Amino acid sequence: MYTEKIEMLINGRWCQGSEGKTQPLTNPATEDILTDVPHASESDLEEAIQASADGFKVWRDVTPLDRQAIMEKAARLMEDRIDDIAKTLTLEMGKPLAEAKGEMSFVIDATRWYGEEGKRAYGRLVPARVPGARQMVVKEPVGPACAFVAWNFPGTNVIRKVAGALAAGCSMLIKPSEETPGTAVAIARCFQDAGLPDGVLNVVFGVPDEVSRKVLGSWVPRKMSFTGSIPVGKHLQKLAADTMKRCTMELGGHSPVIVFEDADVEKALKVAAGFKYRNAGQVCISPTRFFIQDKAYKSFVDGFAERAQAIKVGNGMDDGVQMGPLIDARRLPIMEDFVSDAQTHGAKVVTGGERIGNQGYFYAPTVLSDVPDEAKIMNDEPFGPIAPITHFNTFDEVVERANSLPFGLASYVFTSDGDRAAKISQVLDTGLVGVNHPMVATPETPFGGVNESGYGSEGGIEGLDAFLRTKFITEMGV
Ligand code: NAD
């Protein structure tokens, strides 16, 4: 049962769109309509923008200690409500309930971490060249912020923006995905119920392009943070340029996984196959191009296929399900096209390669072997449960192939040779590198890509800094 009431939050008021427009929300596992999602009218958006300007003036003057107290209270409310929020998340997005709970644990953790870190927005004193002068570098909140986020992590994508902004003293106007609105609404309710002043957090829905044009066309937001695809990211950055907003861009990736012959192949299989099918492969840091050194190739392909076949696919609400559906029907033909294109390039379908059933957007965990670098799936982000595997011979060759795309988000390496691990970590052209394990996303470490995967970090001290600006003050005679 989907229980979350989908409303927008504008200036502390929960509301529907003033013109009554809505869109249906679909459960990707059953294709049932769960509820309606309100759309903001132009005047609703103007009100939300004004509310975020007013909310900022209130929130920037709240001390970091008092901000942290509200954030801690919000985190406790999320803990109390975790079972209900996780159900909402699974029903609207499809991932297994255990994964949804895990995601909400991250959300709670990040809320707490940012709340504490907000107390440490330190500046510094710089010795002056002029006698009697006092030179100070201070950090202050960048201003009202706005964010647009994708559906694949309905909680994580939202909290990385909201908690970073609130900890720094910024207000936030966010448009979560219309495909996964309930998780964001439930999180926002926790902040409101924890005593966040009106207007500090505003949540709207609508036609994405209309909302982003209106919000980014306004001078009020001084910062824009986006999680989503590269083409949409480029479009939003152009819109943000006219009013010189600072941007954080968390965009797509196409992460190489490099397994050397000296690696513990069993361990590499366990880690990489588990991670590949998490969230049905709809993860920006999902492993997506598997390069296996020649001698380990055959056992890796066989082991990977065995693991893929053992995955229990189904409705995320059902016990024991390990992988849910894709987010929407539009993703199914994209998967089919990746597989048929790879086959025409000479790849073999080792397992999967087809839709499961005809209700719900399920696609089988798929393994492709002998996939040449020219195949579409080795160049376009799959964002689905397909593992294309190829082999390599030398260190230099694999580095060149791994670095050959414009993406630069994550990369993974499996080796037992310390020198090799150190050397390859330095030359891989990505913002995140995991050696022998995949944990590249925690609240306390910077998360973000390079090249077309975007720029700026979320998490870590860098994630707080993204919502701060630097001011230099020099004083004399005071
Ligand atoms: P998409 O680009 O159509 O949409 C991605 C997200 O961007 C959606 O949540 C959508 O609401 C939002 N969006 C789209 N147009 C927008 C606009 N003009 N203004 C504001 N927001 C807008 O892609 P899709 O079909 O939903 O997903 C598949 C692709 O999206 C993949 O290629 C993948 O790279 C990318 N994606 C990346 C991430 C990530 O975490 N980096 C998350 C989800 C999707």
- Taking the whole predicted model, whether its pTM rises above 0.75 is answered as yes
Cβ of 227 below 6 Å from ligand 1: yes
Residue positions annotated with a catalytic role:
250, 284
Q: What is the pLDDT of residue 89?
A: 98
Cβ of 50 below 6 Å from ligand 1: no
CA of 228 to the centre of ligand 1 (A): 4
pLDDT in tens, 114-142: 999 999 999 999 999 999 999 999 999 99
Closest atom of ligand 1 to CA, residue 409: 41
CATH number for the domain whose boundaries are 255-443: 3.40.309.10
Cβ of 229 below 6 Å from ligand 1: yes
Atom 8 in ligand 1: residue holding the nearest Cα: 150
CA of 96 to the centre of ligand 1 (A): 21
Q: Is the pLDDT of residue 10 over 90?
A: yes
Q: Is the pLDDT of residue 477 over 90?
A: no
Q: What is the pLDDT of residue 70?
A: 98
Closest atom of ligand 1 to CA, residue 327: 26
Q: Domain extents for the chain?
A: 8-251+452-476, 255-443
Cβ of 74 below 6 Å from ligand 1: no
Cβ of 228 below 6 Å from ligand 1: yes
CA of 207 to the centre of ligand 1 (A): 13
Helix/strand/coil (H/E/C) assignment for every residue in 398-420 = HHHHHCCCCCCCEEEEECCCHHH
Closest atom of ligand 1 to CA, residue 235: 18
Nearest Cα to Cα of residue 98 among 349, 318, 365, 379: 318
- pLDDT average, residue stretch 89-105: 98
Closest atom of ligand 1 to CA, residue 209: 18
CA of 410 to the centre of ligand 1 (A): 18
pLDDT in tens, 270-327: 999 999 999 999 999 999 999 999 999 999 999 999 999 999 999 999 999 999 999 9
Q: Is the pLDDT of residue 210 over 90?
A: yes
Q: What is the pLDDT of residue 470?
A: 98
Residue position matching structure tokens 């200690």? 65
- pLDDT average, residue stretch 433-455: 96
Atom 42 in ligand 1: residue holding the nearest Cα: 228
Mean pLDDT of the chain: 97
CA of 232 to the centre of ligand 1 (A): 7
CATH number for the domain whose boundaries are 8-251+452-476: 3.40.605.10
Helix/strand/coil (H/E/C) assignment for every residue in 46-94 = HHHHHHHHHHHHHHCCCCHHHHHHHHHHHHHHHHHCHHHHHHHHHHHHC
pLDDT in tens, 13-34: 999 999 999 999 999 999 999 9
Q: What is the pLDDT of residue 478?
A: 81
Ligand 1 pocket test, candidate residues 203, 229, 286, most atoms within 8 A of CB: 229
Common-topology check for domains 8-251+452-476 and 255-443: no
Atom 30 in ligand 1: residue holding the nearest Cα: 229
CA of 426 to the centre of ligand 1 (A): 30
pLDDT in tens, 138-174: 999 999 999 999 999 999 999 999 999 999 999 999 9
pLDDT in tens, 58-77: 999 999 999 999 999 999 99
Ligand 1 pocket test, candidate residues 103, 151, 159, 232, most atoms within 8 A of CB: 232
